[in-house]
């Protein structure tokens, strides 16, 4: 495989696509809402109308506006249909020829779409994720070719460092620094691991990327492997994502067939293989050392650090671990340059972030926005405000480990440092909106129950502390609490933060501490009644 081969494949694919395309969302969410049946009915309607040579029906990844799904888009004109049912297929196809169509139209110019800045999601809803040719036609694998043939490993790492990209898995560690550490570590073998163990309630960002654009993640992993000197990669995906696993495996097989994975990639001396490892759904396996233990076939429990995985990871070898979204940014940085990427976002938080916008909000779905955008812009402009006109009370960022931020602080910029200052975290990208019907103490209790159940039990503070905090919250919501219980809650939360072994226990108190701080009156009312 050479550059001219990529160009030839891209040209042939563009020629093949010189016809009207009906993009039908076939993400997991839309499949649950008859997305596959809609696609089949559209194909049958196209055949019945004798339009096979003019119209192509394509199953694509998530278009983003999940609350209005299933969605169908007519390309290239951009007509969007919402809340599509299988019985709407004939009318949609008829409309292509000027017929009447009463299916509800979507507005592609509403702020939900126009305020986004797609990098990770640039191909989502636009290409068939099961055809490598479509990814190549969209510019895919050009960055990998450039990295291998025009750059040294050190130059690749330098570009990632200059871009300012930080790990999108939650901690926000500088990606270039992590890559540099692995590259310098000595070992007869090195590994690259993609963390796709997305366990936060209400989060589906990584799942969508793997379903919509699996080759983007594979290309990022290949570039990383070239940069750090690895020849084996693993993608760890939770078993609850069967459709993502299916599409990912198909993408791996296609990349092998095209010579983009395996031996002598692009006729170079660079070899890299990727395998999938399916997790059993333990939330703690999102922590990197627990994830590595699971890949090795051991119980998924964290271990003390140092040594860090960059020095001693899988089977004691230097291992680079980044999450799905981090790898999905790499190809764009190599293509457009680090200065381009660094110009997006804020001084300390560069680039964009994908969020799963859920909860009591009008527009639910996936958004990708520049770092530094305010919570108010996300909730009220992209999200359209509260569901059915309700008043938004708070938003939680960062999943069960994130804090609840009140509406009075919605002018807070969404970046790592600003969210930390108000008692929350970026996390992997979950964003749950609450309105005035939400009981914040019950919400804190729900998340503590989740953390209690997901604790691996290895360290005493997390194993015992989460149970005791949940017990106190249950006591309060049952009307049996006392003022002393609030003091004990604060003390226990601080204990967990300071003494837990891994990030699960250290961040588990965030929902409790933030609601105690910003919604104190709701706790006090439970004591007074």
d(CA 442, CA 449): 10
Instruction: Give the CA diameter of the chain.
Output: 75
Is 85 within 8 Å of 38 (Cβ atoms)?
Answer: yes
pLDDT reported for residue 529: 58
Is 318 within 8 Å of 184 (Cβ atoms)?
Answer: no
Choose among 363, 448, 371, 368: nearest CA to 404.
448
d(CA 388, CA 467): 36
pLDDT reported for residue 528: 65
Choose among 517, 497, 302, 510: nearest CA to 400.
510
What CATH number belongs to 14-108?
Answer: 3.40.30.10
d(CA 155, CA 326): 18
Specify the DSSP class assigned to residue 387. G
Structure tokens at 381: 């402009």
Angle, CA 290 vertex, CA 287 and CA 291 arms, to 5°: 80
* Beta strand pairing call for 365-370 and 392-397: unpaired
Multiple choice CATH, 440-528, 3.40.50.970, 1.10.10.10, 1.20.1440.230, 1.10.3720.10: 1.20.1440.230
Residue 343 CB partners (closer than 8 Å, separation 6+): none
Structure tokens at 472: 């106190």
Where do the structural domains in the chain lie, given as residue ranges? 14-108, 140-342, 352-435, 440-528
Q: How many residues does the chain have?
A: 529
d(CA 384, CA 19): 35
Q: Report mean pLDDT in 10-residue bins for the chain, 529 residues.
A: 85 83 86 85 94 92 89 92 94 90 93 96 95 96 97 98 93 94 96 92 88 97 98 95 95 97 95 96 89 95 93 97 97 98 96 95 95 97 92 92 94 95 88 94 94 91 94 93 92 94 90 95 85
d(CA 402, CA 425): 5
What CATH number belongs to 352-435?
Answer: 3.10.20.600
Residue 9 CB partners (closer than 8 Å, separation 6+): 133, 136, 137
How many other CB atoms are found less than 10 A from the CB of residue 276? 16
Instruction: Give the CATH fold of the 140-342 domain.
Output: Rossmann fold (3.40.50)
Q: Is 353 helix (H, G, I), strand (E, B) or coil?
A: strand
Using omega within 30 degrees of 0 as the cis cutoff, is the peptide bond preceding 127 cis? no
pLDDT reported for residue 28: 81
Evaluate whether 14-108 and 140-342 have a shared fold: no
Choose among 461, 404, 462, 416: nearest CA to 174.
416
Q: Locate tokens 């291998």: which residue?
A: 148
End-to-end CA distance of the chain: 73
């Amino acid at each position: 495989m050479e550059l001219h081969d990529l160009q030839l494949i891209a040209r042939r694919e563009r020629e093949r696509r010189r016809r009207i395309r009906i993009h039908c969302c076939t993400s997991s969410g839309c499949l649950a809402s008859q997305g596959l049946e809609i696609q089949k009915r559209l194909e049958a309607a196209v055949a019945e109308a004798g339009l096979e040579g003019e119209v192509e029906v394509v199953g694509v990844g998530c278009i983003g506006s999940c609350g209005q799904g299933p969605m169908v888009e007519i390309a290239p004109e951009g007509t969007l249909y919402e809340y599509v049912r299988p019985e709407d297929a004939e009318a949609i196809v008829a409309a292509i020829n000027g017929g009447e169509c009463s299916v509800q139209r979507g507005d592609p110019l509403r702020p939900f779409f126009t305020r986004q800045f797609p990098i990770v999601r640039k191909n989502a809803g636009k290409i068939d994720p099961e055809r490598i040719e479509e990814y190549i036609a969209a510019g895919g694998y050009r960055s990998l070719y450039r990295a291998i043939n025009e750059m040294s490993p050190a130059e690749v790492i330098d570009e990632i460092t200059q871009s300012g990209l930080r790990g999108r898995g939650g901690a926000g560690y500088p990606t270039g620094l992590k890559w540099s550490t692995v590259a310098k570590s000595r070992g007869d073998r090195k590994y690259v691991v993609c963390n796709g163990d997305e366990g936060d309630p209400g989060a589906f960002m990584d799942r969508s990327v793997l379903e919509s654009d699996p080759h983007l993640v594979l290309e990022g992993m290949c570039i990383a492997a070239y940069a750090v000197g690895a020849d084996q990669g693993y993608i760890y995906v939770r078993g609850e994502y069967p459709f993502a696993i299916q599409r990912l495996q198909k993408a791996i097989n296609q990349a092998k067939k095209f010579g983009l994975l395996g031996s002598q990639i692009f006729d170079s001396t660079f070899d890299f293989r990727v395998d999938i490892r399916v997790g059993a759904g333990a939330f703690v396996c999102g922590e990197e050392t627990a994830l590595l233990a699971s890949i090795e076939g051991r119980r998924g429990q964290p271990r003390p650090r140092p040594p860090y995985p960059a020095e001693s990871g899988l089977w004691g070898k230097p291992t680079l671990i980044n999450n799905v979204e981090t790898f999905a940014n790499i190809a764009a940085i190599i293509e457009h340059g680090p200065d381009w990427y660094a110009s997006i976002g804020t001084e300390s938080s560069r680039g964009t972030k994908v969020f799963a916008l859920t909860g009591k909000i009008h527009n639910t779905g996936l958004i990708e926005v520049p770092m530094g955008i305010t919570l108010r812009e996300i909730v009220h402009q992209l999200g359209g405000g509260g569901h059915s006109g309700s008043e938004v009370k708070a938003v939680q960022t960062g999943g069960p480990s994130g804090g609840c931020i009140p509406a009075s602080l919605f002018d807070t910029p969404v970046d790592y440092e600003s969210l930390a200052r108000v008692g929350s975290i970026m996390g992997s990208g979950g964003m749950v909106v609450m309105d005035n019907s939400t009981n914040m103490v019950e919400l804190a209790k729900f998340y503590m129950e989740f953390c209690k159940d997901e604790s691996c039990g290895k360290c005493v503070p997390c194993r015992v502390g989460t149970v005791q905090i949940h017990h106190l919250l249950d006591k309060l919501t049952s009307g049996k609490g006392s003022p002393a219980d609030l003091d004990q809650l604060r003390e226990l939360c601080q204990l967990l933060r300071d003494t837990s072994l891994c990030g699960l226990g250290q961040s588990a108190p965030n929902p409790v501490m933030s609601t105690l701080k910003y919604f104190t009156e709701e706790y006090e009312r439970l004591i007074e009644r």
